[in-house]
Structure 1
Amino acid sequence: MSNVEFFHYLLLLICGAGALTWLAERIAIPPAVVLLLGGCVIAVAGRRVPDVDPNLLLTAVLPPLLMSSSFYTAWKEFQRGIGTIVSLVLGAVTFTTVAVAFSVHAFNPNLPWAACFTLGAIVSPPDAVAAKAILQRHPLPARLVAVLEGESLVNDASGLLLYQMAVSAALAATITVTSGTVLFFTLTLLGIAVGIVCGQAMCWVLPRLGDPMLGIVVTFVMAWASYGIAEAVGGSGVLSVVTCGLVLGIRQHRVFDADLRIKAKATWEAVVFVLEALVFILIGLTLHALLSRVNHESAVLTAGLRVALPATAAAIIARLAWVFAAIWLPDQIRAKRPGRQPWTFKEAVVLGWAGMRGVVSLAAAIALPANFPGRDLIVFSTFLLIIATLVVQGGSLAPLIRLLKLRPTARHTMSEHEARAHTFGASLAALEEIDERSSGIERATFERLLAEYRIRVTANESAYRLGADRIEHRAQFLRVELELVGVSRGALLGLHRDGKVDDAVLHRIESELDFEELRLMRLLEP
């Protein structure tokens, strides 16, 4: 397949991914599951399917997705859940590795222990892309989302350490506790350090660029740069991108101006949608390369299932066991301490069940040396485990949340209406001060501004004090404003159609109407 043909094939995949995503929304199934199965169907039934290198997925697709996830991470919730995240990153990953290794060896005694531990290390850490794709569609308590996303973003170092130790043991290379510890801290500290430097560099560069389009390009380039630099110096590329995104996300409100923020958000949402759709359909397409390397004899396929089934069961059960034994139960014992909010049983169930694997596990499996014992079985089993966790756990997550009736916890902070009233109230107070000390501005101008801000403050104060009835009245008022924006847009297009305004005026006024429409639509969101 030539480069031009591959490009056309990629365009077809993007169109197919869009169609499958639309279908998944209509039948209420997570798009990641439908896209993965669609890729598998293409891989099996397609005549000309290009081999997909998972390392290319890691290098080209993963950094922007990690940057986007970390950029929008709720930092305060992440900090509050750091103990749970560390428990999952270190404890759950290690426990899952051991559980998978023993389970696989029990059903496959001829498979070397080092190969069993390697498979366990490969599939032990949940995948950040899979977690984000599944979780973002479900309203969950803020700390639960923060822990799940935080865990999947930073568990690369522990999983990669265990992976490298198992591979070294299988290839008769010497690795000691000291060298393993040094490797772990090297991956972690270098990755975080590179991420901090890249994040700070972006915070310094972006305000000085001036051009929002150039700023958006820089954010994408830095996602790949932070990953590549960290990998080049021996650190964790995943941790580097995550740290860079966190630094930028924490400081975004001071670094980004309004123009850059609006345009960057729209651009990133579109690109992330395409990349997330592609990553799952491309994982499915790797089945074509796997089948070309694995013998099609039933004995080999049976051996793969004999490895994959116990590995999948052990990975799922081990995570559930760790969550309840090491997180939920100790939290119940310490629940009597004042100020503590222990994990509920429902939260623990979802936390334990949301352990989907994805592209990182597949890339690690295919990166095994050609002479590694049981390599084909490990790669094939990893692929089957990824499908199982995405289909079984990812597909059942929404029904499980509905069954448990798990909802976002009550706010302990201001509601949106209270925050708006406070924000506009500060502007109103400042405007009144300006009115007192300024004499060169027409009185009518101040009266209009004062009236506008008084309306905004009063409307938001009434919304959170008077309850649902007042909120519905306000919504009706906003819908009338939205209808008037549509009328204005129609009149503007009519003027342009009649040749009474030129394109420059059309685009300028249309942009203003777009912002007003977005503002009203945002205010009407539940």
Structure 2
Amino acid sequence: MSNVELFHYLLLLICGAGALTWLAERIAIPPAVVLLLGGCVIAVAGKRVPDMDPNLLLAAVLPPLLMSSSFYTAWKEFRDEIGTIVSLVLGAVVFTTVAVAVVVHACNPGLPWAACFALGAIVSPPDAVAAKAILQRYPLPARLVAVLEGESLVNDASGLLLYQMAVSAALATTITVASATGTFFSLTLIGIALGLMCGQAMCWVLPRLHDTMLGIVVTFLMAWASYGIAEALGGSGVLSVVTCGLVLGVRQHRVFDAGMRIKAKATWEAIVFVLDALVFILIGLALHGILARVNHESTVLIAGLWVALPATLAAVVARLVWVFAAIWLPGRLRAKRAGRRAWSFAEAVVLGWAGMRGVVSLAAALALPAAFPGRDLIIFSTFLLIIATLVLQGGSLATLIKVLKLRPAARHTMSEHEARAHTFGASLAALEGIGERASGVERTTLDRLFAEYRIRVSANENAHASGAERVEHRARFLKVELQLVGVSREALLGLHRDGKVDDAVLHRIESELDFEELRLVTLLEP
């Protein structure tokens, strides 16, 4: 397949991904599941399916997705739940690795222990891309989302260390406790340190760039740079990108101006949508190369199922056991003594069940050395496990959440209406100070501003104090405003069609109407 053909093939994949995403929304199934199955169908039925280099997939697709996820991570909840996240990142990963290795070896005594541990290490860390793709569809308690997303973002170092140890043991490479500890800390420290430097560099550079588009390009380049440089220095590229994104996310409100924030958000959302869709469809396409390797030996297919089934069962059960034994139960005991809110049973069930695997596990399996014992078997088993976790766990999460009646916790902070009233109230107070110093000519303009801000403050105060009836009344008022924006837009387009305004005026006024429409739509969102 030539480069031009490959380009056209990728365009067709993007079109197919868009169609499958649309279909998933219509049949109320997570798009990641539909995209994965669609990729599998193409892999089995397609005659010309290109082989994707897993390292290229990781280096090209993963960094922007990780940057986006970490950028929007709720830092306060992440920090508050760091103990739970560390328990999952270290304890659950190790426990799952051992459980998968023991169960798989018990069912397949002929498979070397090193190969069993390698498979366990490959499938032990949940995937950040899969977690985000599945979880963003459901309203969950804030700390549950923070733990699930935080765990999937930072578990790379522990999983990769166990993977390297298993590979070294299988290839008869000497590895000691000291070298293993050194590897873990080098992966972690280099990744975090480089991510901090990249994040600080972006916070210094972006305010000094007056070209918005250039600033947006820099954010993408830094995602790839922080990943690639960390990997080249022997650190964790994933941790580097995540740290960089966290730094920028915490400081975004001071670093970005309004124009860049709006344009960057739109650009990133569009590109992340495409990359998200491509990741899952490319995972499905990987089945083509896997089947090509195992077709010459039919026994591998049966053996792969005999490895994948116990590995999947062990991985799912081990995570549930760890969540209940190491997080839920100790949390309830501590809560009784300290008066803190413990993890509920429903939260623990979802936390244990939401352990989807994805592209990182597949790439790690495909990166096994050619001489590794049972390599084809491990790759095939990993692929089947990824499908099982995404389809079974990801596809059943919505039903599980409904059955458990899990909803976001009650607010302990200001409501949105209270925050809006306070925000506009500060502007109104400042406006009153300006009005005291205003001349007669300025007074008329200031009176209009006074009226507008008083309406904004009172509308939000009434919506907060008067309950659902007042909120519905305000929503009807906003819908009328939204309708008027549509009327203004049609009038403007009519003037342009009649040749009464030129393109420059059209785009300028249309931009103002776009911002007003965006403001009203945001206010109408539940």
Category of TM-score, reference length = shorter chain? over 0.9
Moved more, 331-340 or 41-50: 331-340
Structure 1 letter corresponding to 2:198: C
Residues 362-397 of structure 1 show CA distances to partners (whole Å, capped at 9, x for unaligned) of 111111110001111011100110000000100101
Task: Identify the residue that residue 524 of structure 1 maps to in structure 2.
Answer: 524
Are residues 1:244 and 2:227 paired? no
Task: Identify the residue that residue 18 of structure 2 maps to in structure 1.
Answer: 18
Measured after TM superposition, the shift of residue 310 of structure 1 is: 0.5
| Aligned counterparts, 1:113-152, within 5 A | 113-152=113-152
Measured after TM superposition, the shift of residue 341 of structure 1 is: 1.3
| Aligned counterparts, 1:500-515, within 5 A | 500-515=500-515
Structure 1 letter corresponding to 2:112: P
CA distance in 2, matches of 1:279, 1:391: 15
Measured after TM superposition, the shift of residue 234 of structure 1 is: 0.7
Task: Identify the residue that residue 283 of structure 1 maps to in structure 2.
Answer: 283
Task: Identify the residue that residue 105 of structure 1 maps to in structure 2.
Answer: 105
Paired-residue identity, %: 85
Task: Identify the residue that residue 358 of structure 1 maps to in structure 2.
Answer: 358
Measured after TM superposition, the shift of residue 337 of structure 1 is: 3.2
Measured after TM superposition, the shift of residue 338 of structure 1 is: 4.0
| Aligned counterparts, 1:150-229, within 5 A | 150-229=150-229
Moved more, 292-301 or 224-233: 292-301
CA distance in 1, matches of 2:188, 2:88: 16
Are residues 1:348 and 2:375 paired? no
Structure 2 letter corresponding to 1:209: L
Moved more, 330-339 or 415-424: 330-339
Residues 144-195 of structure 1 show CA distances to partners (whole Å, capped at 9, x for unaligned) of 0000000000000000000001111111111111110111000000000000
Could you list the runs of 5+ residues in structure 2 that have no partner in the other structure?
Answer: none
| Aligned counterparts, 1:328-407, within 5 A | 328-407=328-407
CA distance in 2, matches of 1:375, 1:442: 78
Task: Identify the residue that residue 49 of structure 2 maps to in structure 1.
Answer: 49
Residues 324-376 of structure 1 show CA distances to partners (whole Å, capped at 9, x for unaligned) of 00000011111113451110000000000000000000111111110001111
Task: Identify the residue that residue 419 of structure 1 maps to in structure 2.
Answer: 419
Moved more, 24-33 or 440-449: 440-449
CA distance in 2, matches of 1:99, 1:443: 74
CA distance in 1, matches of 2:337, 2:455: 45
Structure 1 letter corresponding to 2:433: E
CA distance in 1, matches of 2:118, 2:194: 28
CA distance in 2, matches of 1:361, 1:71: 23
Measured after TM superposition, the shift of residue 295 of structure 1 is: 3.2
Measured after TM superposition, the shift of residue 460 of structure 1 is: 0.3
CA distance in 2, matches of 1:181, 1:299: 39
CA distance in 2, matches of 1:191, 1:316: 29
Measured after TM superposition, the shift of residue 53 of structure 1 is: 1.6
CA distance in 1, matches of 2:269, 2:446: 39
Measured after TM superposition, the shift of residue 66 of structure 1 is: 0.1
CA distance in 1, matches of 2:118, 2:346: 32
Structure 2 letter corresponding to 1:249: G
The CA RMSD over aligned residues, in Å, is 0.8
Are residues 1:409 and 2:404 paired? no
CA distance in 1, matches of 2:23, 2:295: 34
Structure 2 letter corresponding to 1:324: F
Moved more, 86-95 or 282-291: 282-291
Measured after TM superposition, the shift of residue 436 of structure 1 is: 1.4
CA distance in 2, matches of 1:440, 1:279: 62
Moved more, 440-449 or 350-359: 440-449
Residues 281-334 of structure 1 show CA distances to partners (whole Å, capped at 9, x for unaligned) of 001001111111113443221111111110000000000000000000011111
CA distance in 1, matches of 2:297, 2:201: 54
Residues 232-260 of structure 1 show CA distances to partners (whole Å, capped at 9, x for unaligned) of 11100000000000000000000000000
Structure 1 letter corresponding to 2:472: E
CA distance in 2, matches of 1:231, 1:10: 27
Task: Identify the residue that residue 307 of structure 2 maps to in structure 1.
Answer: 307
CA distance in 1, matches of 2:75, 2:68: 14
Could you list the runs of 5+ residues in structure 1 that have no partner in the other structure?
Answer: none
CA distance in 2, matches of 1:3, 1:170: 38
TM-score (norm 2): 0.99
Task: Identify the residue that residue 91 of structure 1 maps to in structure 2.
Answer: 91
Structure 2 letter corresponding to 1:74: A
Measured after TM superposition, the shift of residue 442 of structure 1 is: 2.0
Residues 490-519 of structure 1 show CA distances to partners (whole Å, capped at 9, x for unaligned) of 100000000000000000000000000000
Task: Identify the residue that residue 461 of structure 1 maps to in structure 2.
Answer: 461
Measured after TM superposition, the shift of residue 440 of structure 1 is: 6.5
Structure 1 letter corresponding to 2:147: V
Structure 2 letter corresponding to 1:288: H
SS in 2 for 1:335: helix
Aligned length: 526
Residues 458-504 of structure 1 show CA distances to partners (whole Å, capped at 9, x for unaligned) of 00000000101111111111011001000000100000000000000
Are residues 1:477 and 2:477 paired? yes
Are residues 1:316 and 2:316 paired? yes
CA distance in 1, matches of 2:459, 2:258: 25
CA distance in 2, matches of 1:512, 1:384: 51
Task: Identify the residue that residue 327 of structure 1 maps to in structure 2.
Answer: 327
CA distance in 2, matches of 1:438, 1:499: 41
Structure 1 letter corresponding to 2:109: P
Structure 1 letter corresponding to 2:36: L
Structure 2 letter corresponding to 1:490: E
TM-score (norm 1): 0.99
Measured after TM superposition, the shift of residue 273 of structure 1 is: 0.3
Moved more, 24-33 or 433-442: 433-442
Task: Identify the residue that residue 433 of structure 2 maps to in structure 1.
Answer: 433
Measured after TM superposition, the shift of residue 226 of structure 1 is: 0.2
SS in 2 for 1:163: helix
CA distance in 2, matches of 1:185, 1:282: 32
Structure 2 letter corresponding to 1:290: I
Are residues 1:253 and 2:245 paired? no
* Aligned CA distance change for structure 1 residues 261 and 448 (closer, same or farther; 3 Å): same
CA distance in 2, matches of 1:440, 1:474: 34
* Aligned CA distance change for structure 1 residues 222 and 441 (closer, same or farther; 3 Å): farther
CA distance in 2, matches of 1:199, 1:30: 32
